[in-house]
Amino acid sequence: NPQHPELIVAFRWRAVYKYYYFIIRGDFFPRENVFAEQMTIWRTMPIKKNEPVVFVPCRHDPAKQFWREFPAVFCQGSGHRPGVVCWIEKLQEKRLKLLDPRRKVHFRISGVQYGDKDFFVNDSFSDSLTFQAGILDEIGRPWQSRIVREIERCEQTAALVGHFAQELAIAAGDRNENAGGAVRAQFYFAVNQPFRQWLQAIDPEQDDPDEAALRWQAQARNIAEKLGKQMVMEAGNAALKGHRIVVDKDKKSERTILYTAPKAYNHFRARLWEIYPKTEP
């Protein structure tokens, strides 16, 4: 009513007040060394001089497969492990022997991606890993070091594949520095299920660690080589012909390097066989 504008103002104020709310993150508690929490992984805080090591809960990376976190979650010497992992190990001690070492144990993680200042949830995710319980007892110590070593080789190969993708991009005339990101993810996707199957099939009491590691290395090398050949085919004729890049230039002369797909592939295969040496006759 134009004759009573104060009524309009009052109505609007009441409407805003009716739908007013607060966004809060909930209750808080100190997160340092809260080891009563048995179902999380941990990371160390930056160590200050003359102060003890402090552990705080660590969030899972949704872009990282759970098996790539094996060293931090399951291996002794990695810091403070989750309580549920230590409990499985405890059940297999000689004086207890409550758990068959050949029994399969299934570990599942779940995580949440939070929004700005952790006020709301953007996404949630989960992953799992299955292997024989014996990998976590004394018999499994040599296996743990072998598994960690093969995960490190996968990390090295992923970095190599990413570098190879950048060289192919340069050979095709593209200086995109992010060319390797998608290819690294593609390699991890390719080895994901084979690695899980290899880990699940390990029998610490019956298998030989060296032989099992060599079987996986041959499989991982073949996966990387197949991906490398596919990348060369997709690079096209421009990368096959190559592209020359100036790397050093002064007033009198300049030095260039010719990038080509065959040259990059040869470097890739040579480095790959350094990561996974051929041991067959």
Cα 127 to its chain centre, rounded Å, is: 12
Q: CA separation (Å) from 242 to 67, 126, 239, 256?
A: 38, 43, 5, 12
| pLDDT tens per residue across all 281 residues of the chain | 444 444 444 444 444 445 556 666 667 778 888 888 899 889 888 877 788 888 998 888 888 999 999 999 999 877 889 999 999 988 888 767 788 889 999 999 988 888 877 777 888 899 999 999 999 988 888 999 999 999 999 999 999 999 999 999 999 988 666 778 899 999 999 999 999 999 999 999 899 999 999 999 999 999 999 999 999 999 989 999 988 887 776 666 678 888 999 999 999 999 999 999 977 54
User: Which residues does residue 243 pair with via DSSP β-bridges, in sequence order?
Assistant: 259
Contacts of 136 (CB under 8 A, 6+ apart): 74, 85, 88, 89, 92, 105
Helical residues (DSSP H) of the chain, grouped into ranges:
5-18, 70-74, 83-90, 141-171, 179-201, 209-241, 261-275
Please give the radius of gyration of the chain, using alpha carbons only, rounded to the nearest integer.
27
Confidence (pLDDT) at 5: 45
Q: 65 by DSSP, 3-state: which?
A: coil
DSSP letter, residue 251? S
Q: Is 203 helix (H, G, I), strand (E, B) or coil?
A: coil
| 265: number of Cβ within 10 Å | 21
CA 47/CA 5 separation, integer angstroms: 64
Which residues are within 8 A (CB) of 101 and not within 5 positions of it... i.e. 6 or more apart? 92, 132, 133, 134, 137, 139, 140, 204, 205
What CA–CA distance (Å, rounded) separates 60 from 69?
9
Token duo for residue 188: 């991890």
Please report where in the chains the tokens 């102060």 appear, as a residue: 51
Delineate the domains of the chain, giving CATH numbers in brackets: 1-136 (no CATH), 141-281 (1.10.132.100)
